[in-house]
Amino acid sequence: MQFGLIGRQLGHSFSKELHGKIGNYQYDLLELEPEQLARFFRERNFKGINVTVPYKEKVLSFLDVMSDTAQNIGAVNTVVNVKGKLFGDNTDFAGFKSLLCHNKFNVKNKKVLVLGTGGTSKTVTAVLNFFNCDNVIKVSHSGATNAVSYDDVYLKHSDADFIVNTTPVGMFADMDCVPLDISKFANLQGVADVIYNPLRTDLQLAAMGKKIKYCGGLYMLVAQAVYASALFQNIKPDATVVKKVYLELLTEKQNIVLTGMPSCGKSSVGKCLAAKLKRNFVDTDVLLAGKLGCKVDDFLKNYGESEFRKRETNIIKEISMQNGIVIATGGGAVLNGQNIKNLKHNGVVFFLDRDFNLLQVSSDRPLSDNKTKLQKMFEDRYLVYKNSADICLDGNGGVEETANLILKEWRRYNENISA
């Protein structure tokens, strides 16, 4: 291959399409087992590569020369073949530095916990030191000599100001986990997670729930790729490209999720949105009915709402792992906080707030087949819809009008993030 990414498991990677937006060259993904690494570098059949876990430290022995940055860090994520000589650099340094600056994380004279002790952890530590961080504490399960245990971090470092996760905990596809409990850190000002798939990990969502500043790894991914691409092409990196490509990739990968009362128009608006964006549309109720093998109202009558909600949660978890789709949820999906968490991993959640008088009862909705039931449902759920959404908007207009309003608010939301 000419250019590409090597690592052990790359099914989660966005790098191929990312480099397609940055440079005019073929970029491939190559999964290598540890025993294949030496042969790959011995043959040197590439012009430039990126390196990801678990090889950022292992590749050092195969290089002819390294940049000062890579040498000081002790980890490499970019290798360029220059007339048969292998030059190693660490563009993750520029990537994480850009991430902190973009999100205005001021770590000067602060205590920062860095979760993990691998190559990315070394890079993060180097950047923190560059910004005159007062105290960097590495945290590990492995018992590394330069790290504290997770038990000790709660006992001795609960006064930490920032947390940076460099571990794979919470990464696709095992997304329902956090590396530590942030509720035990009373002084916490910010959480940064280098994971970019999903777009928002459970760790980030925990920070969001506590109104603590947070960021994921997508901006870092884009920034390091821009700097790596410049090395591939032997040109100066253009920092202005980072924000542009970040916004493009974020928008492409995000799901649009619609929540709201039965008959508020989620399905109709969702189909309209999907057509405008040329995206796939998923109605979780329709998908669930197909999995159940019967009509939803029949299932509810035979097995009850509790069993229905369990099946619904399984469907939502599965769908939420996808990227770049439009999702219309069932009216009661928001009642389970796990559903909202899953939907927010890759999606922006919109609540279609439609006036009660515009809602319709229907015989095929046994939970709201008369006005009395619908009124009770509306009163019970309204605040849940509102509090669980990223964006609440007026759903009283027509299908086209509401779809256009969502597009407008969605673009504004992402532009604010990327600004």
DSSP calls for 252-269: HH-EEEEE-STTSSHHHH
What mean pLDDT comes out for the span 31-41? 97
Question: What one-letter code names the amino acid at 292?
Answer: L
pLDDT in tens, 14-30: 999 999 999 999 999 99
pLDDT in tens, 369-398: 788 999 999 999 999 999 999 999 999 999
Active site includes 56?
Answer: yes
pLDDT in tens, 155-203: 999 999 999 999 999 999 899 999 999 999 999 999 999 999 999 999 9
Q: Residue 64 gets which letter from DSSP? A: S
Burial tier of 372 (Cβ tally within 10 Å: 0-12, 13-18, 19+): exposed
Which is nearest to 258 in space by CA: 271, 246, 245, 247?
271
Question: Could you tell me the pLDDT band of residue 273, with boundaries at 50, 70 and 90?
Answer: very high
What backbone phi and psi angles, to 5 degrees, belong to 202?
-60, -35
**Mean pLDDT (the chain, rounded):** 95
pTM of the model: 0.95
Give the pLDDT of residue 316: 97
Residue 134 has pLDDT above 90, yes or no: no
Give me the helix-helix angle, 119-130 and 92-102, nearest 10°.
50
Q: Please tell me which residue in 21, 47, 56, 373 is annotated as part of the active site.
A: 56
Q: For each of the domains in the chain, give its residue range(s) and CATH number, in order of start.
A: 3-89+223-238 (3.40.50.10860), 94-220 (3.40.50.720), 254-418 (3.40.50.300)
Give the pLDDT of residue 167: 95
Order across the sheet with 3-7: list the strands: 27-31, 3-7, 48-51, 78-82, 85-89, 65-66
pLDDT in tens, 282-296: 999 999 989 888 877
What mean pLDDT comes out for the span 134-158? 91
Q: In this structure, what token pair is assigned to residue 15?
A: 């790098």
Residue 363 has pLDDT above 90, yes or no: no
Which is nearest to 296 in space by CA: 218, 219, 363?
363
* CA–CA dist 215, 203 (Å, integer): 10
As a whole-number percent, the residues of the chain with pLDDT over 70 amount to: 100
pLDDT in tens, 232-258: 999 999 999 999 999 999 999 999 999
What backbone phi and psi angles, to 5 degrees, belong to 284?
-65, -30
CB 392, CB 386: distance < 8 Å: yes
Question: Could you tell me the pLDDT band of residue 338, with boundaries at 50, 70 and 90?
Answer: very high
Give the pLDDT of residue 368: 78
Give the pLDDT of residue 295: 79
pLDDT in tens, 41-86: 999 999 999 999 999 999 999 999 999 999 999 999 999 999 999 9
- Which runs of E-coded beta strand occur in 103-161? 111-115, 135-139
Question: What one-letter code names the amino acid at 222?
Answer: V
| Distances in whole angstroms, Cα of residue 68 to Cα of each of 65, 265, 323 | 10, 58, 38
50, β-bridge pairs:
5, 78
89, β-bridge pairs:
78
Residue 125 has pLDDT above 80, yes or no: yes
* CA–CA dist 197, 201 (Å, integer): 8
* CA–CA dist 81, 193 (Å, integer): 31
CB 96, CB 127: distance < 8 Å: yes
